Structure 1
Amino acid sequence: MAEKYNYIQKSFSNLKEISIPKFQRGLVWTQEKRRDLISTLHEGYPFGVILVATNNTKKNTKDETDNSNDVSNWQLLDGQQRLSTIIDYSKNSIKYWKPLNQVEYSVVRKKVDKIFIDKGIPTLVEKDFDALLNLSSVEFTQKMIDLKISDMEDVLNIQKGLQAIRQSVDDYVNLKTLEIPMIQFTGRSQDYAQVFENLNKGGVPLNKYEIYNAAWIDARITLSSDNENEKIILDNIIDYYKEIEKAGTFELSESADEIIEDNIVNLAEFGRALGQLVVSKLPALTSDNVVNEIGFGILGIATNTNNKDIGTLNSSENLEKIQSEYKDILLRVDNISQKLNDTFSILKLNLGHSKGGAKKQYTDGLSTVFKTLSYFADLWDLDDREITKHLINIPGYYVADYLDNTWGAHGDSRLTDYYPEVSKKNYSNPIDKDAFKIKFKDWVSENNDRKNGFSKQIKALLNIYGNYTYKKDKDVLEFTGQDDEFEHIIPKKRILGFDKNNYVNLNSIGNGMILPKYLNLDKQAKTIYEYEKTRKTKINESGLQDKAHYPTELEFKEQFKNLEENNFDAVNKYLMNRSMEFIEHFVEKVL
């Protein structure tokens, strides 16, 4: 296969016409990072390659002349901060040189100060002293007259000191001879992300969605900000840059609040901000960790772009569609996100009532990005009546798709089947209960490993069932105003008191439930029956057994005896039987 790149070197003077993208919105390295680069150049150390590609938007439309070697036709893809720093050094070299050569600078400064002091003239502040370095001979002479330095020997000594600094600055990095190593990528623009990934393996990992910033230099969307969602999009973009600046890696060359002009944003910013909008409205299935995947994935759905080809979103056809339909896209995203979040309240945990409680508001152990995107794809073109019909079925598929690992591999390809214009798959029909039971039982049997606690998947399943049943029934347990806690029905402390080698499966779904924190803390290693007797409080035992399927006192007695006799196989067998019973109850209540 032919190579799609060229290794080249260009002198700094030849690179001034390269198109440096404005997509990074004035993001610049901190002054410390910029000085580090200049110091590297001074020492003659390697400083990394610059990645460029032919800017097809500047291609001569009058003929088919190959202008790929014309520097003015290149756009910078990677290395903006390096090249921008070198350009800035060429214009403001003293700003970089001075902190790196403080001793040499101070020696000259003190000599000039002494001349002023001896003449009874106030010394110059640093800013005014530095300004002398940029004066022409005529300007310098006039400045000495203005400062009343008339002695020619003094003038010459000042001039000599300034010239020494100028010469040191010129010699520090010789820009006339500086050669910059470059890679010229000659492949397709949709391959930019893969190029970035390969170049940066082993280094600081780059997010491919951030990489699309480089590919989408001229892909811009103009918003009107005449409705709430558009304002949220613009605010999300501004907040994103504020967070980057706050992290300390970059500075902004202008205020974050002034960074967007005329409500024009680039496609990468719009996709990211769209993802943030979804996360804010659909916390049940999303989080800040998937902002880009969700936002760009939805743009793929809206433009009928396969998720594997998301790098082509910047095509003129897609860009035109997004620009003309972005208001409708935002309305659909808002509507679907809120309806999905209501549907998936079954994942919600009670929390925030006490210190040390659960940190995540929703149990996300079964959630994946592509699965969530499939819901958007399925509901995208439906009216509210049809959306409601599909939403009744989606929770069942949410669990079933996890059980048989539907979205584990090639999820991007499978997602396309749910696109409105493809429509090979959808959530219009209820899931088959018998098939679901088989999947669930097979999964429990195959995942019967002996863990030291509940996995996030088991917690999600326990929480779904609890929210459908006993958690909303105050006659069983009082959850109001209490944090939820996952509890081993046969108390973990009691099990570990006998089982020193972790033979008993502490991840069994048959041994799990959710309790309000007050009860879980108070009862400790007791069963609820034992707690009830010691605290002389009355608990709805029949409701607990009926709704939460809590074991009877006799069942507890038998299992405690098995533990005392180290009959851990019998305990595991009991827990497996309870797991199978849990599945029956789960199907009855959830589906």
Structure 2
Amino acid sequence: MSTAVANKYTSTQFTFEQLKGRVTVPPFQRRLVWSKQQKKEFIETLSKGFPFGSVLIYKYEEDTMVSLIDGLQRFSTIMDYEKNPQEYIDITEEIDLLVSVLTANYPGDLTAKILNSIKKDIKGLIKDIISKQNVEPMLLFDTMNRHEELSQYLDSTQLRETVHIQHQITSKKSNYLKVNEIIIPTVEFLGDVSELSEVFENLNKGGKKLSKYQVFAAQWYRNTITLNDMKNNKNILEEIIKRYELLDRQREIKIEDFSPEKMREEKVINLSELCYALGKLIIKESSVFFNHKKEDGLEDLANEIGYSTMGIIFGIDNKKLYSIEKYIARLQDAKFLNDLLNTIFKIFRNINDHFKQYLKVPIQEENYENKKITNFKFLSYFADLWTRYFSITPDNQIIDRSSSGDISYSKTIENLIFYYIMDSVKGNWGNAGDSRLNLYYLDQTRNYLNKPQKKDFEDAIAIWWQERISNPSIQFDDNSKMIMTIYYNLDKSNSGLKIGRNYDFEHLIARNKIKDIYKNLILPMGTLGNMMFLDSNINRSKKELNLYNQISSGESINKTYIDFAFYPEENLINRLENLIHIKHENLQAEVTQFVTQRGDKIIEKLIFNLYK
């Protein structure tokens, strides 16, 4: 006989006025993702009195406020309407009426451009009236009368009609939506706080997918850590404060228990905040891989890097990161936490410094050819180094074997560029990256301890290269750009590139010469064999010229640069360009042969310099 399970929730209704004064938003809520159109459509639904989905609230035992667990989009949109009704109410009819009144008696002809300008000015005035709480009956007329452009169309005979239109506008606002009277269907969850993450996840299955990190944040909201004034602890705290300041500005809703001054005074954070801030600081230490990321797009990346790093530290399967919570007691030791962070950042700095020497693009600003990295591939470098050379004792002491007489740590780091290239050309880390990452610190069946055998390395690049030259292309692929960048960085002194100058990836045989024929003739023109670094100043004037044409026109290009780039002799490049121009029957064979052989030379020299 089955036993009925008691409901863990109640359903009721509150007006918006009743809710808005007692609702806070927990930090684990996701950011606003509704577009302006979606927000307008929701407000229109409310204005028609139609039903809408309920919000979920939860009251923590010691709190007087209730927390908004689900329904942020709806609740914040209503708040935004209350603050900015002019952004939601359709005023097309009123604009057209007012334009008609203003221009009815105008003696001259009005062009479409002038009419559009009048409509734009009127729209601004009407929106301003809607935004105000109380307006004088003649405000619209008086404002237009003072307006530099609109006043030339206005006279006293239009007063009555203008006042009438203003009344129509204010009436529309008044009748459109009475915000405080909106009835909000509300579900209050009565279960245990530990169940909130599961509830939140289930509620969001039909909408925008909730990340596992947001679910963990719901679960760990009350797992607190008290920091001290040591450097890394302070940096963690500041990253969390900056995060909430940004979210607070975006949401315009109070974030639960957030005050920068209070946080700095109390120094109390929770486990999910620690993981986020850890990820953010790792990103800062890893400019080679993440310097192109915009600040406002780092939320998900920081979570993935931070949580995964913490999983590696404590030997937790990346698919079971919820187990990090078991180690909260260790992380509550502020000195240990500071020492742990110091070690983590040291490892990531070492990784970053290693790749900086290979992936720096030859331009003045800090820019790196990093498109072939994935988050889990990046984390695997840390995972292998941490697991092999560091450990934590039962009494929270960090054992560091990286600085001993054994040079394996530095050798392991030196090997990373080989695996970076091999994984990139083989397409590893594309799918199931979390499972592959586990192999480097749980199973420990993969590692970077030994340099790949030269034959294996050569074969991996050869297979990739054969595939590239067998297909038509004109856009440079990321692997070709990566290899070219590493090729130049391996022998900078002999590359012919000038320090302090900017260089672009450029087609050796100009793109414009082959853009209409490369597909039909299966020409691999977007590959390593037709790529070079070219001084940006020369590139702007190059157009369809080859370098010998530019030299004859006065440009200075040194022989070292020509030789290092395996740039073809003048008679060969002129012959190839002529074959393309006249569409010779040998065009496909000779151009493909040239691209292939030049790419072969670059690859051969790259491998030689890596393994010498």
- Using structure 1 for the length normalisation, give the TM-score: 0.69
Question: What is the correspondence of 1:259-274 to structure 2 with a 5 Å cutoff?
Answer: 260=263, 262-274=266-278
1:483 Cα offset (Å) = 1.7
Residue number in structure 1 paired with 2:380:
374
**Structure 1 pair 447–298 and aligned structure 2 pair: CA distance change class (3 A):** same
Which residue identity lines up with residue 312 of structure 2 in the other structure? I
Look up the equivalent residue of 1:454 and give its one-letter code: F
- SS, match of residue 392 in structure 1: helix
Aligned to 2:420, the other structure's residue is in SS state: helix
Cα RMSD after superposing both structures: 4.9
Deviations 1:203-243 (A, max 9, x none): xx65543443322221222221321x322222222222233
Q: Which amino acid aligns with 1:528?
A: L
Letter in 2 for 1:477: G
Is the alpha carbon distance of 1:39 and 1:509 closer, same or farther for their aligned partners in structure 2, counting shifts above 3 Å? closer
Partner residue, 1:568: 588
Q: Matched residues in 1 for 2:9 and 2:204: separation?
A: 20
Q: What is the aligned counterpart of 2:453 among 425, 428, 432?
A: 432
Mapping of 1:444-463 within 5 angstroms? 444-448=465-469, 449-463=471-485
Alignment partner for residue 252 of structure 2, among 250, 253, 273? 250
| Cα distance in 1 between the residues matched to 2:7 and 2:533 | 61
1:548 aligns with 2:548: no
Q: State the AA in 2 paired with 1:235.
A: E
Amino acid of the residue matched to residue 195 of structure 1?
Answer: N
Do the aligned partners of 1:284 and 1:362 also contact (CA within 8 Å) in 2? yes
Letter of the aligned partner of 2:544 in structure 1? A
State the partner residue of 2:352: 341
2:367 corresponding residue in structure 1? 361
Deviations 1:303-329 (A, max 9, x none): 22211122343x2x2222333342233
The percentage of aligned residue pairs carrying the same residue is 25
Q: Deviations over 1:49-80 (max 9, x none)?
A: 3357999xx8xxxxxxxxxxxx99x9864236
| Contact 1:7–1:183 (8 Å) recurs in 2 | yes
The alpha-carbon deviation at position 372 of structure 1 amounts to 0.4
Instruction: Note the C-alpha offset of 1:427.
Output: 0.6
CA separation in 2, counterparts of 1:272 and 1:431? 35
1:476 CA drift (Å): 4.2
Letter of the 2:548 partner, please give it.
Y
**1:199 aligns with one of 176, 184, 206:** 206
Name the CA shift for 1:370/1:206 in 2 (closer, same or farther; >3 Å): same
**Do the aligned partners of 1:42 and 1:173 also contact (CA within 8 Å) in 2?**
no
Q: How far 1:189 moved relative to its partner?
A: 6.8
Distance 1:245 1:392, change over 3 A: same
Deviation at 1:378, TM superposition (A): 0.9
Deviation at 1:550, TM superposition (A): 2.5
Q: Secondary structure at the match of 1:365?
A: coil
Q: How far has the Cα of 1:252 moved from its partner?
A: 4.7
Residue aligning to 1:281: 285
Answer whether contact 2:204 2:210 (CA < 8 A) is retained: yes
* Aligned equivalent of 2:167: none
- Tell me what 2:152 maps to: none
Which residue of 2 is the match for residue 304 of structure 1? Answer: 315
Q: Is 1:487 matched with 2:483?
A: no
Contact (CA 8 Å) 2:354, 2:413: kept in 1 or not? yes
Separation in structure 2 between the aligned mates of residue 439 and residue 577 of structure 1, nearest angstrom: 18
Q: Which amino acid aligns with 1:453?
A: Q
* Structure 1 gap ranges (5+): 59-70, 89-93, 111-167, 354-359
1:271-293 deviation line (CA, Å, top 9, x unaligned): 22211111111111235442222
Paired residue for 2:422?
400
Matched residue, 2:163: none
CA distance in structure 2 between the aligned counterparts of 1:6 and 1:36, rounded to whole angstroms:
33
2:230 alignment partner, one of 200, 222, 226: 226
Name the CA shift for 1:52/1:398 in 2 (closer, same or farther; >3 Å): farther
Structure 1 range deviating more: 578-587 or 459-468: 578-587
Q: 1:577 to 1:376 in 2, by over 3 A?
A: same
Q: Does 1:319 align with 2:331?
A: no
Contact 1:404 1:439 in 2 (8 A): yes
Distance 1:85 1:392, change over 3 A: closer
Instruction: Give the direction of change, closer, same or farther, for the CA distance of 1:585–1:292 in structure 2 (3 Å limit).
Output: same
1:416 paired residue number: 438
Query: Which deviates further from its counterpart, 229-238 or 560-569?
Result: 560-569
Judged with a 3 Å threshold, the aligned counterparts in structure 2 of structure 1 residues 252 and 450 are, in CA distance, closer, same or farther, namely: farther
> CA separation of 1:332/1:5 partners in 2, compared to 1, >3 Å: closer, same or farther?
farther
Residue 214 of structure 1 corresponds to 218
The 3-state SS of whatever aligns with 1:415 is helix
One-letter code aligned to 2:602? F
Cα deviation, residue 465, structure 1: 1.4
Cα separation, partners in 2 of 1:95 and 1:460, compared to 1, 3 Å: closer
Query: More displaced, 561-570 or 301-310?
Result: 561-570
Q: Give the deviation of 1:587 after TM superposition.
A: 1.5
Check 1:24–1:424 CA distance in 2 against 1; reply closer, same or farther (3 A cut): closer
Alignment match, 1:153 = none
Q: Distance in 2 between matches of 1:20 and 1:378?
A: 42
Q: If the length of structure 2 is used for normalisation, what is the TM-score?
A: 0.67
Equivalent residue letter for 1:518: N
What is the letter of the counterpart of residue 482 of structure 2?
A
- State whether residues 42 and 172 of structure 1, in contact with CA within 8 Å, keep that contact through their aligned partners in structure 2: no
Which residue is equivalent to 1:164?
Answer: none
2:604 maps to what in 1?
584
| In 2: Cα distance, 1:585 partner to 1:184 partner | 68
**Residue equivalent to 1:239:** 242
Is the contact made by 1:52 and 1:75 (CA closer than 8 Å) also made in structure 2? yes
Is the contact between residue 21 and residue 217 of structure 1 (CA under 8 Å) also seen in structure 2? no
Gaps of 5+ in 2: 90-129, 138-174, 390-401
Equivalent-residue separation in structure 2 for 1:375 and 1:352 (angstroms): 28
Q: How does 1:10-409 map to 2 (within 5 A)?
A: 10-12=11-13, 22-23=26-27, 44-51=49-56, 77-79=69-71, 179-181=185-187, 195=202, 198-201=205-208, 206-227=210-231, 229-246=232-249, 248-252=250-254, 257-258=260-261, 260=263, 262-286=266-290, 288=293, 289=298, 290-313=301-324, 315=325, 317-324=326-333, 325-345=336-356, 346-351=358-363, 361-381=367-387, 382=389, 383-384=402-403, 385-409=407-431
1:509 match: 528
8 A Cα contact 2:425 2:479, kept in partner:
no
* Contact 1:28–1:251 (CA under 8 A) maintained in structure 2: no
